[in-house]
Amino acid sequence: MTTITVCMGSSCFSRGNSTNAEFVQKYVEEHNLSDSVTVKGCLCEGECKNGPNIKINGKLFSHVSPEGLEDLLSYELGLKK
């Protein structure tokens, strides 16, 4: 099971994770990954200056933009090499 954790702390949220969280949920649904991917939110993890932050299986990704999120997800979820 893959876990995607979207930081919902105030800094990450205001820097774009509100949009990123919606995108991640939609991506998982559109690619029929609901059985193998869990999406959850978390509060601040202390990396505010590098936000918005997303973790995939515990691996931190910083400065995540909506423009690069699809490629990141495709690569990390094994849908694109």
Nearest-5° Cα angle at 67, 66 to 72: 85
pLDDT of residue 53: 97
Q: Which domain holds residue 26?
A: 2-76
How many structural domains is the chain composed of?
A: 1
Instruction: Specify if 81 maps to a domain.
Output: no
Residue 60: CATH number of its domain:
3.40.30.10
81 pLDDT higher than 90: no
User: pLDDT, tens digit, for every residue of 7-25?
Assistant: 999 999 999 999 999 999 9
64 within domain boundaries: yes
Question: Residue 45's pLDDT band (boundaries 50, 70, 90)?
Answer: confident
**Rounded to an integer, what distance in angstroms lies between the CA atom of residue 78 and that of residue 55?**
15
* pLDDT band at residue 80 using 50, 70 and 90 as cut-offs: confident
Q: Is 22 part of any domain?
A: yes
* Interval 54-80 mean pLDDT: 95
